[in-house]
Structure 1
Amino acid sequence: MNQRDLIGVLRRGRELLPGDPAFGDPLSVTGPGGARAVARAADKLVGDTPSAAREIGFGALQVWQAMLERMGRGKGSQEVTVMFTDLVAFSRWSLSAGDEATLDLLRRVAKAIEPPIAERGGQVVKRMGDGVMAVFPSADPAVRAAIAAKAALGEVEVNGYRPRMRIGLHTGSPREIGGDWLGVDVTIAARVMEAGGNGNTMLSEATLDGLDEPTLAELGLVAKPYRRSFFAAPLSGVPEDLRIFRLSGA
């Protein structure tokens, strides 16, 4: 069995282990820029290129986190709202735009979306290429920041290209470790963002329930239930009963 086949076997084996089998991918709790105290240490030990050692290491971390969750120790002591953002079709555009234009765009995007996050009490936890992860003390400022950030992004243009951004919000109690956040609630927020398609703002039922009653009306928005299309792949690493909503103009 060659190295590539072995990695494939290990990845399939992780589907049978407790916890999130996506542990270690860019949208999991330990993707690039994952929990500094745990996954980043693993990256230093086994590297960031595909390898059997890397898969075994992430498999162990996956089980470790799942056991903490089962013992009630996998969650933090405070509730926060987690935000993930991502530029739609950014990779395809950047390949043709070139490095200089790509860096220019990323700088402009950061200048557009990060101030609205900070101004509403949010903290940017990490930047992941064309997206960010941020945390807020509650759902209300998180939603207001998301809407303000998208409005600011509408002013960004590079060589005729106007980026579109999808956003995912989920409220829960992840654990803060070394300035990062770890746990199933972080994974849920990332998967909620994945459901955002071509630039929608999505939120979990927990975030919707945490909003002040007049907030959506003040923003001119309504929350519509998200229904996964028949051909869309199911979201991995999230509860089966997770309900997601899409924010739409009223």
Structure 2
Amino acid sequence: MKQPLADAPASDAGRLQVPTAVLPLAFGVLGLVVAGAALALWVIPAVPRLTIIGDELVGLSYIVAGTIAWLRRPSNRIGPAITGAGITWFIGDFVFVPNAVITALAYALMWLPNLFAAFILLSYPTGRFFSPAARALFLTAVAVSAAQYAVRLFVLDATGDYGCTCRNPFAVLPNVALYDVVMLVTRIVVVLITLVTLVLIVQRWRHASPAGRRQLAPVLFAGAVGLAAFAADITAYNLTKASADAGALGVASVTGTLLVLARTAVPLGLLFGLVRTRLDRALVAQLIVQLGQAPSPERVDEVLAATLHDQTLRVIYWSPAARAYLDGRGRLVEPSAGEGRAIRLVERDGSPLAAIDHDAVLTDDPELLTSVTAALALAVDRGRLETMVRAQAEDSRSFPTGRVTLLYSDIEGSTALLDRLGPRYADLLAEQRRILRGITREHGGREIDSRADEFFAVFPMGSTPLAAAVAIQRRLRDHEWPEGATVKVRIGLHTGEPEIGDEGYVGMDVHFVARLGSAGHGGQILVSQAARDANAGELDHDDLPADFPPPRLAK
């Protein structure tokens, strides 16, 4: 069974917060310094003003988005990668510095942001490559980029793209022919890498679950556009031999502009994803309200699935009586994570309450998952508390008056169950009461009293007591009880107008429904003519037993 990660002690968490925050903030400040230095190049007459403005907008958007992501998820590499893309984005601007050393270094490394972008696209949102093919593709991109950087730094003698009329001081092996061949081959390989990356992104999207697609959408779609524009830019360069970064007009200039705009969408997409996560967490407050209304197990699955955007989600519950996890219908379930699935245990003070079987992609947003888990724990714990105090709380409330339907039930063979289970009988009885109370509320009824193995409930007119009785028999039949025990209740239903005294309902109607229920057999529902007339309607109960011995006669 997959175990949840233990929370760090408060003292340890306090010690870790400072260094965790310092590193992203330090790189964020470094990025601002680099951005300021790039902006200072404005004073150089040869620097294209629009290029500087565009780079400032794009680079700063990467730096801000990356710093935020890094602070929020320090263990995730996406934040550092986004920040690194923003810092290195300004390298190309320093090509215009009239200094041979600076301009040669800047020209050699100006495509470094492409590696950060490739890493983001191939590892988003976990910061880990989503497949071995993605890892191999990234390593290939690193090797090709290293070859480009090397020939630009050590083989290229000079170029018109330099910001000064100077030669490359690092050109230890100047060779124009070698430079042209290596750059042509590596550019073609880069285009192929780009296309393969696009294919991997599309395949990943197609095979992703709905929850996974929702997480991938913000950055992957923006990145796909950026990759397409980048491929077009490289292709245009090979056809025209013009550098868009140098401000040339024509096809390369247009595609270069599109590339800048598309890359701007990547950090904006990330920021959108962060804002959307905040909105998702706002739904947790609504979730707590809805779970506080004691919904049915099916409704619990529905509201949790809506909050986490995972329609495959299901909740299973820990049964103290069975000492195992059961689904909403009481069937035994072993919480194990299959392919693409994950199990989140819900506990209170080290004791199991429930477990959430969800799409594994949701583990990429641990804060949201933790909030939802806490809300579910609160609801389950609250439900168990209600089991202990409901009878006392009802005493202070006014019961429905007028014509109502009364339900009485008790467990057949309770003494034999007590002898068989011993101390565990208390857990069985508590669980049986929780089931009856939950179904009673689902069908518009209200508990009156529960003593030993007896249970009384009232249903005002307009509710569905017959459906509640059928649901009780089904749930108890399908429930997994400890040591293979079988819990059968006999149920009586009667409609009348009982009086309300200091201790609840009194009168002949109360005595009649109790005798009616006691006259039945385990698994049987006895309905008075008055209850049948007041609650007319067809009920689907063909799956329940119909053959019982004659009713027991009261002595």
TM-score normalised by the chain length of structure 1: 0.55
- Three-state SS of the structure 1 residue aligned to 2:527 is strand
2:519 pairs with 195, 206, 225, which one? 195
Percent of aligned positions with the same letter in both sequences?
A: 26
Q: Evaluate the alpha carbon distance shift between residue 94 and residue 139 of structure 1 in structure 2; reply closer, same or farther with a 3 A threshold.
A: farther
Within the alignment, does 1:137 sit opposite 2:460 as a pair? yes
Q: What is the aligned partner in structure 1 of residue 554 from structure 2?
A: 235
Distance across 1 between alignment mates of 2:472 and 2:441: 11
Within the alignment, does 1:177 sit opposite 2:501 as a pair? yes
Within the alignment, does 1:168 sit opposite 2:487 as a pair? no
The answer on whether the counterparts of 2:443 and 2:464 sit within 8 Å (CA) in structure 1 is yes
Paired letter, 2:455: V
Q: What is the aligned partner in structure 1 of residue 430 from structure 2?
A: 107
Residue 199 (structure 1) shift: 2.6
Spell out the pairing of 1:214-229 with structure 2 (5 A cutoff).
215-216=538-539, 218-220=540-542, 228=550
The answer on whether the counterparts of 1:117 and 1:123 sit within 8 Å (CA) in structure 2 is yes
2:474 pairs with 127, 151, 155, which one? 151
The one of the two structures with greater contact order (alpha-carbon pairs below 8 A, sep at least 6) is 1
The answer on whether the counterparts of 1:120 and 1:145 sit within 8 Å (CA) in structure 2 is yes
Distance across 2 between alignment mates of 1:156 and 1:129: 21
Q: What is the aligned partner in structure 1 of residue 447 from structure 2?
A: 124
- Three-state SS of the structure 2 residue aligned to 1:192 is helix
CA displacement, residues 60-96 of structure 1 (integer Å, 9 cap, x when unaligned): xxxxxxxxxxxxxxxx961111100111101122023
Within the alignment, does 1:204 sit opposite 2:528 as a pair? yes
Distance across 2 between alignment mates of 1:183 and 1:102: 32
Distance across 1 between alignment mates of 2:451 and 2:530: 25
Count the aligned residue pairs. Answer: 156
- Three-state SS of the structure 2 residue aligned to 1:171 is strand
The answer on whether the counterparts of 1:156 and 1:163 sit within 8 Å (CA) in structure 2 is no
The answer on whether the counterparts of 2:473 and 2:523 sit within 8 Å (CA) in structure 1 is no
Within the alignment, does 1:83 sit opposite 2:407 as a pair? yes
Distance across 2 between alignment mates of 1:148 and 1:85: 13
Gaps of 5+ in 2: 1-391
Distance across 2 between alignment mates of 1:118 and 1:186: 20
CA displacement, residues 28-69 of structure 1 (integer Å, 9 cap, x when unaligned): xxxxx9xx8xxxxxxxxxxxxxxxxxxxxxxxxxxxxxxxxx
The answer on whether the counterparts of 1:81 and 1:170 sit within 8 Å (CA) in structure 2 is yes
More helix by share: 2
The answer on whether the counterparts of 1:84 and 1:134 sit within 8 Å (CA) in structure 2 is yes
CA displacement, residues 215-234 of structure 1 (integer Å, 9 cap, x when unaligned): 33x45599x9x9956xx5x3
More strand by share: 1
Q: Which stretches of structure 1, 4 residues or longer, exceed 4 Å deviation after superposition?
A: 218-222, 226-229
TM-score normalised by the chain length of structure 2: 0.26
Residue 184 (structure 1) shift: 0.1
CA displacement, residues 99-135 of structure 1 (integer Å, 9 cap, x when unaligned): 2x11110121122221110111111111011121000
The answer on whether the counterparts of 1:81 and 1:139 sit within 8 Å (CA) in structure 2 is no
Paired letter, 2:466: V
- Three-state SS of the structure 1 residue aligned to 2:521 is coil
Residue 156 (structure 1) shift: 3.7
The answer on whether the counterparts of 1:140 and 1:210 sit within 8 Å (CA) in structure 2 is no
Asked which structure has the greater CA Rg, the reply is: 2
CA RMSD of the aligned region, Å?
A: 2.9
Distance across 2 between alignment mates of 1:146 and 1:86: 12
- Three-state SS of the structure 2 residue aligned to 1:168 is strand
The answer on whether the counterparts of 1:150 and 1:165 sit within 8 Å (CA) in structure 2 is yes
